Structure formats: structure tokens, C-alpha cells
Amino acid sequence: MSETYKEFLDIWHMIAFYGSFGLLGVSILMYIIYKVRYVAAGSLKAKYDFVSTNEVKWYQWSHFIFAIAVFLFLNQIRQETMALSSVWFFIRLFTAFCLGILYGYVAFLVFKYYYPKPLNKKLKHLRYTPRVNPNNGNQMKLLSEEEEDAYLDEGMQAEEDAFSVDYDVWIDSDTEYVQIEKYKGHLTALECDRCGFQTLKLSKEEILKHPSEYADGEIKKEYECTYCGRIKRQTVRLSRTSTPELDKMGDNMLIDDPLKTTTVPVSVKVEVLSNRGQIKNYEFQNTKEASKFLEEFDFAKLDEE
């Protein structure tokens, strides 16, 4: 074995050893920092916002960094075998790489497919745990969709009707103290540049020029604010490589109207399936809310996560 190879191995093993423990530390530290920030966020609503925007991101990165730590750690085991031949070095390098990638990929899958469910449960808990009146410590009551309208201004109601924003109204029935919390709705609407509410919705689409194999097309989009009535027109390029959203019709079809029922349900669960295999689940307080939602519903309005 050549001297250079031996020197190289020594340095490599040192870097891999310290690097793996360093990254393990970073990974654990990320987890701890996340937890500290969660506790420091304060109110349940602040915690909700913090968890919904950060938890998956932070946990995922913590695991990815851990995967690199695993890769480095494996790169300094069996040091005597490596000294025999550089072939062993590459075998170890390759195996460590595969195992690191495998760990990272499994973590990715877990966060994409399994984790949303427990996360949702956690968010629901943060959102629906009874609020406490900061002035007298009374437990507050969450108003139903019908009751809350009295406390929301017209713009807020328009946002709720567009399902772009969901407001929770908590009330202390003794003192009439009201606390309003703003949550993201099921559908997206743009923020109106005149009134500032999230009520700007696509109202018309017209293809000015069909995209061909050789040239881009053009589509005219018209947005209307359901609150202040502002109309905004925009011409968007349809790229020649992408399939235009022309065959949007039939994306969401309802066969029957299951919402016409005489019994009073406690909650209404809606599952929407698209012919492209997307499945979306929603929950509503009553059939009226659910039918209003379905009238608004369009797969194109969903947030791409």
C-alpha cells in the first residue's frame, strides 16, 4: 500500500469521524431549537401558525442532516480493511452513500405520506382547544359558522364565502369579549389590490391564441373581487411545451346531490376525487356550508403544496 493512500485514508477517516458527530449535533440541535421556538410562540393561535409553516420543514431537514451524518459515520468504519486495497474504500463509499440516500428517502416518504395525518391532529388540537379570556380567565366558546357572521365585517364574510380564509370567532358569553382568529381556507383566492381581502377570484378565461408546437399561446384571465367588485385583467402566456388547461371541464363532477337531506348532521365530510387521481377531504359544520364549498370548488384553486 502506498504512503499517499495511507495518508489520504487517515485524513478521510478523521473528517468522516468528526463530521458525522458534528452533523449529528446539528441535527439534534435543530430539533431542540424547533421545540424551544414552539414553546416560545406563546398563544395557541401563534403555535398553530408556527407549526403549520415550520414543523415539516424543520423535522425534514433535521432528518436529512442526520442522513449525511450516517453517510459520514459509515465512511470511517472497518479502517483496517480499507488499508488492504482501495477497492474496499470505494465499496464502503458506495454502500454508505446508498444507506444515507435510503435513510433520507424514507424520511422524505414518511413526511410526505404518513406525517400529514398526525400533524393535522395536532393542528386541530391547537385550533379548537377552548380559548381563555385574557382579562378574567373565563373559558370562551367557539361560535358556529352561522353565529359568527354577526361578528365579522362584510369583507371577512366575503373571504369566508370564497373559502380562501376561515375565521374562528371565540366569545366570552359573560362579558361579550370577542377574539377573532384568521386561518387559511380550503381554497385559494388572490388578495385584492383594492380592498385588501383575499377575495379576488378567477371569473373568466379566454384563449386568445392556442399554443402550437412551434409558438406560445396566450390566455386572457379576468379576476373579480367578490367583495369590492374590482376587475383585474391579465394576459398570460401559454407555453408551447405545457399542456394548456383547456380540458379543465370535467375535472370535478358531482353525480348526485347528497347534500339534500332532512336530518341534521353533526358534521359533513366531503371527499372529492378528480379524474386525475387526486383525492381531497374536507369537513364542514353543516350541509349548507358543504354545498357552498362545492359550488366554489375547483382543483385549480387548491394550494399546491
- Select the residue interacting with Zn ion from 123, 225, 259, 272 (CB under 5 A): 225
**DSSP letter at 266?**
S
Closest approach, Cβ 229 to Zn ion, in A, equals 7
Dist. CA 176–CA 257, nearest whole Å:
39
Closest approach, Cβ 234 to Zn ion, in A, equals 15
In the chain, the amino acid numbered 268 is V
* 301 in Cβ contact with 187 (< 8 Å): yes
Which of 126, 192 has the CB closer to Zn ion? Answer: 192
* 124 in Cβ contact with 44 (< 8 Å): no
Q: Which residues are CB-contacts of 118 (< 8 A; sequence separation ≥ 6)? A: none
Q: Which range touches Zn ion (CB under 5 A), out of 219-227, 240-248, 261-269, 277-285?
A: 219-227
Closest approach, Cβ 292 to Zn ion, in A, equals 20
- Select the residue interacting with Zn ion from 41, 56, 93, 195 (CB under 5 A): 195
Closest approach, Cβ 163 to Zn ion, in A, equals 16
Kindly list the distances between the CA atom of residue 173 and the CA atoms of 113, 128, 168, 177, 232, in Å, as whole numbers in the listed order. Answer: 41, 17, 15, 7, 43
**DSSP letter at 135?**
T
Q: Which range touches Zn ion (CB under 5 A), out of 78-86, 104-112, 115-123, 193-201?
A: 193-201
Residue 293 zone, left/alpha/beta (φ > 0; ψ -120 to 50; rest): alpha
- Select the residue interacting with Zn ion from 28, 41, 56, 228 (CB under 5 A): 228
Dist. CA 301–CA 230, nearest whole Å:
19
Closest approach, Cβ 118 to Zn ion, in A, equals 38
Binding flag, residue 192, Zn ion (CB under 5 A)? yes
Q: How many residues bind Zn ion (CB under 5 A)?
A: 7
- Strand pairing partners for 235? 220
Closest approach, Cβ 304 to Zn ion, in A, equals 24
- Select the residue interacting with Zn ion from 221, 230, 232, 280 (CB under 5 A): 230
Which of 74, 192 has the CB closer to Zn ion? Answer: 192
Lay out the site mask for Zn ion across 142-171 (x = CB under 5 A, - = otherwise): ------------------------------
Dist. CA 48–CA 123, nearest whole Å:
6
Dist. CA 293–CA 284, nearest whole Å:
9
Q: Which range touches Zn ion (CB under 5 A), out of 73-81, 172-180, 195-203, 289-297?
A: 195-203
Which of 194, 240 has the CB closer to Zn ion? Answer: 194
Q: Which range touches Zn ion (CB under 5 A), out of 33-41, 96-104, 110-118, 228-236?
A: 228-236
Q: At what angle do helices 44-74 and 86-109 cross, to 10 degrees?
A: 160
Q: What is the grid cell recorded at 125?
A: 388540537
Q: Which range touches Zn ion (CB under 5 A), out of 68-76, 183-191, 226-234, 280-288?
A: 226-234
Q: Which range touches Zn ion (CB under 5 A), out of 3-11, 62-70, 165-173, 224-232?
A: 224-232
Q: Which residues are CB-contacts of 51 (< 8 A; sequence separation ≥ 6)? A: 38, 119, 122, 123, 126
Binding site for Zn ion (CB under 5 A): 192, 194-195, 225, 227-228, 230
